[in-house]
Amino acid sequence: MRNIFTVLVLVLGSFSFGQEVYQLDSISWTFQKPDGFEYKDSGQDGFSAGYELFAIERNDDLYFGSMEATYSGDNNLKSMTPEVYAYVLQDGFEKAFNNEKFKAQVNVAKQYIDGRNFYLIRSFVTEIESEMIFYMDYYFSDIAEKEFGVTIYYNNDEDKNVLEQSFFNSKFR
C-alpha cells in the first residue's frame, strides 16, 4: 500500500512540476513556462500597462522570443464589446507601427484556449532600414470584467511554436 501511495505521489507530482497558478479573481490560470525561457524582473522596461503576472524570455545573438501576461481592470472592455475593442487595438497598433522606421501588417482573429474566447491581434513588423522582421501577438480575453492579456514577441518559428503551445496548453478553472 505504501509503495502504491509513493508511486501515485510521484506520478501526480510530475504532472504539476514547473506549473504556476495565477489567480484572476475567481478564475485560476495554470501555466507552465517552456524549457529554455527565464523569468524577467518585473521592474524592467517593456511591460504592458496593468498588473504584470510574469514575463519570460530567451535571448541569443540572432533570435528572440518572449511572453508577458497581464491582468488589469483599467481597460476599455467596460465601455465596448471585446470584438470592438480588438478592432480599436488593431487600428492603434497599425498607427503605432507604420512610420518612417517601420512598416506593419496587423490582423485580428478569434482563438479558443481551454474553452475561453480570446481575440488575437497579430502584428507583422519590418524595420525598414535593416529589413529585420519580428512579430507581436497579443491575445486578450474578458475575465471577470477585466482584461487578461498575453503578448508573445518572436522573430523565429521555433520560439513562436514553443510559446504558443505553452499558452494554448494552459488551463482556466
**Burial environment of residue 99 by CB neighbours within 10 A (0 to 12, 13 to 18, 19 or more):** exposed
In a domain, 7, yes or no: no
For residue 116, being part of any structural domain is answered with yes
Q: Is the pLDDT of residue 9 over 80?
A: no
Phi, psi angle pair for 164, to nearest 5°: -60, -45
Q: Is residue 14 a part of any domain in this protein?
A: no
Please state, in angstroms and rounded to a whole number, the distance separating the CA atoms of residues 50 and 173.
22
Whole-model pTM? Answer: 0.82
Residue 44 has pLDDT above 60, yes or no: no
d(Cα 141, Cα 147) in Å, to the nearest integer?
6
Query: Which CATH number is 143's domain given?
Result: 3.40.1000.10
Q: In which band, very low, low, confident or very high, does the pLDDT at 144 lie, cut at 50, 70 and 90?
A: confident
**What pLDDT does 74 receive?**
65
Strand partners for 16: none
Other beta carbons within 10 Å of 115: 7
46 and 79 Cβ atoms separated by less than 8 Å:
no
Inside any domain, residue 12: no
47 or 5, greater pLDDT: 47
In a domain, 11, yes or no: no
Whose grid coordinates read 479558443? 112
In this prediction, residue 145 carries a pLDDT of: 84
Q: For the chain, how many structural domains are there in total? A: 1
Band of the pLDDT at 10, cuts 50, 70, 90?
Answer: very low
Domain that holds residue 23: 19-172
User: Which pLDDT score, from 0 to 100, does residue 171 have?
Assistant: 96
Give per-residue pLDDT as tens, 85-99: 999 999 999 999 999
Domain annotation covers residue 164:
yes
User: Does a structural domain hold residue 1?
Assistant: no
Stretch 27-54: mean pLDDT: 77
Is there a domain that residue 57 lies in?
yes
Say which residue, 144 or 118, is predicted with more confidence: 118
